[in-house]
Amino acid sequence: MVRLATSFDASAIATLFHETVKKVNSRDYDVKQIAAWAGAAPDVAKWRARQAGRTTWVFEVGGTVRGFAEFGANGQVEAIYVHADHQRKGIASALLVQIEEEARRLGGARLYTETSTTARGFFQKRGFKVLKPAEVDAQGSGFTNFRMAKPLL
């Protein structure tokens, strides 16, 4: 089920992010890029602090977090990560439905994201289109991400 995250979820979110980048995004990015992206270890304080400026949902099964997503200002999907062992089960889709509902409730006309090569197929399937590739500098390991948008009808 999808529910709003609390500060108590920060540890699970930090660990899931760290593991998913290392196990899933490593298909599409090199070792240096993955090290810069994942960080040396799960950063619980960072993920707890991020909750202040965003709406964060988790997808939970039996008390275990299997995915999370962040919705920020100006219609931005700021993060969406699914546990490496639970890919392609509809978890990210369920999280995105929540974001779309919230965006509509706030009167937004479009959703935006700056996403990875890994997630591009997912966002395309969910109705996003690439606006332009964007160079993102993650601690000096610059790599290409894609700015994508979806109109909310």
Ligand X SMILES: CC(C)(COP(=O)(O)OP(=O)(O)OC[C@H]1O[C@@H](n2cnc3c(N)ncnc32)[C@H](O)[C@@H]1OP(=O)(O)O)[C@@H](O)C(=O)NCCC(=O)NCCS
Residue ranges that bind ligand X, judged by CB under 6 A: 20, 24-25, 79-82, 87-93, 115-116, 118-119, 121-122, 125
3-state secondary structure of 12: helix
Tell the smallest beta-carbon distance from residue 46 to ligand X (Å).
Answer: 15
Task: Report the C-alpha gap between 150 and 143 in whole angstroms.
Answer: 23
Q: Name the nearest CA neighbour of 13 among 95, 133, 98, 89.
A: 95
Based on CB atoms, which residue is closest to ligand X, 32 or 107? 32
Pairing of strands 143-151, 76-82: unpaired
Q: Residue with structure tokens 């997503």?
A: 69
> Minimum Å distance from CB 68 to ligand X?
10
Nearer to ligand X, 107 or 132 (CB): 132
Q: Minimal distance in Å, beta carbon 8 to ligand X?
A: 22
Residue among 24 and 111 whose Cβ is closer to ligand X: 24
